[in-house]
Structure 1
Amino acid sequence: MSTVNMELSTLINETSKELEFSGVIGVKAEDKLIYCSAHGYSNRSDEIVNTTETRFGIASGCKLFTSIAICQLIQNELLTLDSRINECLSFEFPHFPPQITIHHLLTHTAGIPDYFDEAVMEDFEELWQKNPMYHIKKLTDFLPMFQDKAMMFKPGERFHYNNAGYILLGLIVEQQSRLEFSEYIDKFIFQPCDMKGSGYFSLDSLPENTALGYIDEADGTWRTNVYSLPIKGGADGGAFITAADMVKFWEGLFSNRLLNREYTHVLLQPHISTDAKGNYYGYGLWISKKNGEIFKYHIMGYDPGVSFHSAVYPAHRLTTVISSNESSGPYDIACLIENEL
């Protein structure tokens, strides 16, 4: 191991201890895994430790899977980026204008109401007081939470992060492919990338070697997140992955195994600016620029008892995967690695 890699490993280990991090951290440089470690417990009650093969929820990190699925359908000429939702969905949306396109949904610029607006709502768990999470098993189960609400702004007017838009994209995948969303992702994304440890699992029937999510309370107690999330994830978040599988996914994407060269390029374009600091959104992923060049592609996800960050730094040929079964941690470690670059 090079001196630089040893220093990075030491810094990650020290920071993980300071944070009392629970999860897995993987760093790949060029074609070599230079760091991989597991920390904390996947099951606190029985003191089962996390391993580098443990599966973790990634919350909104899997919006990229949804975007790729849509681009696959476009590549196969079943849709276009300009297809309107009223042309490819059979559901009624009484307040949605007809000009909303797939491009608007992919870039969070549709202006539709969100079932969970992260800009104004702090507690994701509040959603399930009126809509019990154990009833949310399919994408259509989300529709009553936003289907009849008024628009937030005109389509294309601005960027506003929106989970409901990705629910609609998932429904488009289902209607065009005639497969359940999770079946489509498994068949056309996970399998081509040999992601054998990943999937959309129900919280009440998790497979072996899957970390339970934990919420730490202010008084020092804790609880699992089983009553804090929909029972099964979908198009806007909720897949489970292993660190190795996430590395395979990035390799599959950038080697054009999931999309041809043209649509891989389309997916990875900075389609809309999200702030004045050089940050952009592509299709399902965030893009950061420095000095006019792309510095990183990254995805992230945060739910009660779940936090995740994964990035590709093209100029450095570096890939990172940081998964946790707690509500924080990956961002701090991602910043540490990035500062070392």
Structure 2
Amino acid sequence: MTNPLLSRIEQIQENISFTGTILVRKKEDVLADMSFGYANRAERLNNHAGTRFGIASGCKIFTAIAICQLVEEEKLSLDTKLHECLDESFPHFDKNITVHHLLTHTSGVPDYYDEDFMDDFEELWIERPMYHMRRLHDFLPLFQNGEMKFAPGERFHYNNAGFILLGLIIEKISGEKFTDYVQARIFDKAGMKDSGYFALDSLPGNTAVGYIDLKDGTWRTNVYSIPVQGGSDGGAFVTAQDMSNLWDALMNYKLLGQAMTKELLTPHTEGEDGSFYGYGVWIGKQNEQVVKYHVMGYDPGVNFHSAYYPASDINLVVCSNISSGAFQMMMGVEEELGL
């Protein structure tokens, strides 16, 4: 008998030439686990269930969890002010910026990549080559002397620099490199054994190369298009199974206690398009009921969506090593399952 969900996924893949992996789980039951396209086009190596994919901003949730862990341990609070945490100079930043503001994209700090003024993420690396971007401090010259965009708490404006600052706070308080902290306190605890913040010039095996498809039918990799190593605003690599494990660990209080998990998943602010945002996670609501917690990431050659649907206890992961397609795949799965 034909499986409607698998047939729908195959149909979408044929329509949009999707490249990547789709995993849909309901508790221990796997509803779909499918992979398409090449992890390495030059060597014609296929994507498969064990392929690691970049997820860009999809890993802001890891940073938020890390901050909430430190709050649970009473090493800081959500009302702690930025200037109380870091010694670096931010001459034009408002003294009232709090950890809460940074977590919810309501801080008003200038961003290093502002979509209001830049159309192309690659423009960032013209004056400061991407291969220099290996630690969180490397990003500070891109925004620390900028002017505030608005007063803290005034409104939502998606902001990568705010999450760089959160990563620096984690490093300062924990005494650990951000990536080491996340590896030990999140990846290892959640059973994310194949995930990490790998550098583009030293990728481990089973890692998909990101591809940028050009209008003339040719392509190039994204190796010169994104920072050489990810950090607190994005850039980790995960397998679909590992990301599914993250949702399980979060919802079963393996990473945070019940009260702090609820705080992370609370709709704290409303985005420009009517969506809601918690701490590092987007939240979908219908008739005042939360129907979906989701994360997403877009970079040149990276396209990622993942969600947890509380009413059905289903989680979905869509990883792709091209620049588009994950959203259409997620929408198709949701429609097929009535999510």
Sort the TM-score into its range (normalised by shorter chain).
over 0.9
SS in 1 for 2:182: helix
Is the counterpart of residue 339 in structure 1 residue 335 in structure 2? yes
Residue aligning to 1:89: 86
Equivalent in the alignment of 2:197:
200
**DSSP-derived class of the 1:24 partner:** strand
What is the aligned counterpart of 1:304 among 297, 300, 303? 300
1:183 and 1:33 mapped to 2: Cα distance?
Answer: 31
Q: TM-score, normalised by structure 2?
A: 0.98
- Residue number in structure 2 paired with 1:215: 212
Q: 1:18 aligns with which of 15, 19, 43?
A: 15
Q: What RMSD, in angstroms, separates the aligned Cα atoms of the two structures?
A: 1.0
CA contact (8 A) 2:107 2:152 kept: yes
Partner of 1:248: 245
Partner Cα distance (2:326, 2:53) in 1:
12
Per-residue Cα deviation, 1:173-230 (whole angstroms, up to 9, x for no partner):
0000010000000000000011110000000010000000000011111000000000
The CA distance in 1 between the partners of 2:241 and 2:220, in whole Å, is 28
**Hey, what does 2:278 align to over in structure 1?**
282
Work out whether 1:324 is the aligned partner of 2:320.
yes
Structure 2 gaps, min length 5: none
User: Deviations for 1:67-104, whole angstroms, at most 9, x for unmatched residues?
Assistant: 00000000000000000011011101000011000000
Query: What's 1:189 paired with?
Result: 186
Unaligned runs of 5+ in 1: none
4+ aligned runs moved over 2 Å, structure 1: none
Task: Tell me the secondary structure at the aligned position of residue 219 of structure 1.
Answer: coil
Alignment coverage as a number of residue pairs: 337
**Amino acid of the residue matched to residue 87 of structure 1?**
E
Q: Compute the TM-score of the two structures, normalised by the length of structure 1.
A: 0.97
Quick check: 1:231 aligned with 2:224? no
Aligned partner of residue 287 in structure 1, secondary structure: strand
> Could you tell me how far apart the structure 1 residues matched to 2:312 and 2:75 are?
37
- State the distance in 2 between where 1:317 and 1:69 align: 24
Deviation by residue 1:94-148 (Cα, 9 ceiling, x = unmatched)? 0001100000000000000000012432200000001100000000000000000
Shift of residue 43, structure 1, vs aligned partner: 0.5
Question: 1:187, 1:119 → 2: CA distance?
Answer: 36
Equivalent residue letter for 1:180: K
Secondary structure at 1:236 match in 2:
coil
The reply on whether 1:117 has 2:114 as its aligned counterpart is yes
Matches within 5 A, 1:68-217: 68-217=65-214
* Secondary structure of the corresponding residue to residue 189 of structure 1: helix
The alpha-carbon deviation at position 276 of structure 1 amounts to 6.0
Q: Partner amino acid for 2:293?
A: Y
